[in-house]
Amino acid sequence: MTWETLTLLFLAGLSAGFIDAIAGGGGLISVPALLAAGLPPQIALGTNKMQSTWGTLMAVRKYARAGLVSWPQVRATAFVTFGFACLGTWTVTQVSNEVLKKVVPWLLLAVAVYVLLSPGLGRTTARARLNPAAFAWLAGGVIGFYDGFFGPGTGTFWALACVSLIGLELTRATAFTKVVNLTSNFASLFVFVASGRVNYPVAAAMIAGQLIGGRLGAHMAIKHGAGFIRLVFILVVFAMVAKLFWDQVQAN
């Protein structure tokens, strides 16, 4: 791996960390960059989990220091998410995820349209529709498994779940999302490391970028609030949908 390639991967990590800290979807940048650098798909996925974990950790630290993370509220969901993300990552090593590749773009498109047509969504705290235990098992189980098994749009699904099911304002929902996303990243990373699917020199270059990008992105989200997050959220989701649909066209 040349220094030029490692420098480009550093910049990809920085960009991905910035986007991830605000609205999720940094994998749109980091995974294609890893594949373009010549890493086999399984190694690219494992290395991506390694580098994204550190960017998410930096974002969590920033949100926590701003007082936006309620640890008692997120604790149960994080535990459930960890277990189901491990299960999802193990499952993806055993079976194909082709069906999800076809379904997920439509789910993300529905989420983007819903957010676009709901301008007040997440601007203020709303009434919770699920109690904490029910939310932990439903969202932690479903989204945690999904993140371990496939992944694209995980942050989007978490943010929408936090806003619509437990009534969080969008800035606090984003902070909650970063904590549970970090949990599922750790779970998946554990499985990838155990199976030898991480390129450590490449991960180190991208981690350096992720640490900077994650801090900057979280700072921007905290400073500009729900309106800014919503704008980036919609742009990222539509970009993700376009990317996933394009992948399907190329595959056919």
Gap between the Cα atoms of 170 and 153, Å rounded: 16
Gap between the Cα atoms of 214 and 91, Å rounded: 29
Strands (E), the chain: none
Gap between the Cα atoms of 251 and 191, Å rounded: 28
Q: Is the pLDDT of residue 228 over 60?
A: yes
**Helices assigned H by DSSP within 166-199:** 170-194
Gap between the Cα atoms of 213 and 45, Å rounded: 20
pLDDT of 170: 84
Number of domains in the chain: 1
For the chain, the C-alpha Rg in angstroms (whole number) is 17
Q: Is the pLDDT of residue 9 over 90?
A: yes
List, for residues 125-183, the tens digit of each pLDDT value.
677 889 999 999 999 999 999 888 877 678 878 988 998 899 998 889 989 999 999 99
Q: What angle do CA 113, 116, 117 make, to 5 degrees?
A: 85
Regarding pTM above 0.85, the answer is: no
Q: What angle do CA 27, 33, 39 make, to 5 degrees?
A: 105
3-state class (DSSP) for residue 81: helix
Highest mean pLDDT among 31-40, 69-78, 87-96: 69-78
Provide φ and ψ at 117, rounded to 5°: -90, 0
Of 110 and 138, the one with more pLDDT? 138
Gap between the Cα atoms of 187 and 160, Å rounded: 22
22, 128, 146, 241, 244 from 25: Cα distances, Å: 9, 26, 15, 10, 12
Q: What percent of the chain has pLDDT over 90?
A: 34
Of the pLDDT bands very low, low, confident and very high (cuts 50, 70, 90), residue 98 is low
Gap between the Cα atoms of 10 and 15, Å rounded: 9
Longest dimension (CA), the chain: 53
Q: In whole numbers, what is the pLDDT of the chain averaged over residues?
A: 84
Q: Is the pLDDT of residue 99 over 70?
A: no
Gap between the Cα atoms of 41 and 15, Å rounded: 21
Of the pLDDT bands very low, low, confident and very high (cuts 50, 70, 90), residue 104 is low
Provide φ and ψ at 113, rounded to 5°: -65, -45
Asked if residues 177 and 158 have their Cβ atoms less than 8 Å apart, the reply is yes
Of 200 and 40, the one with more pLDDT? 200
What's the sign of the alpha-carbon dihedral 33, 220, 23, 67? Answer: positive
Q: Is the pLDDT of residue 208 over 70?
A: yes
- In this structure, how many other beta carbons lie within 10 angstroms of the beta carbon of residue 70? 14
Q: Which domain holds residue 158?
A: 3-251
34, 88, 116, 146, 250 from 245: Cα distances, Å: 20, 23, 20, 19, 9
Gap between the Cα atoms of 50 and 64, Å rounded: 21
Q: Is the pLDDT of residue 112 over 70?
A: no
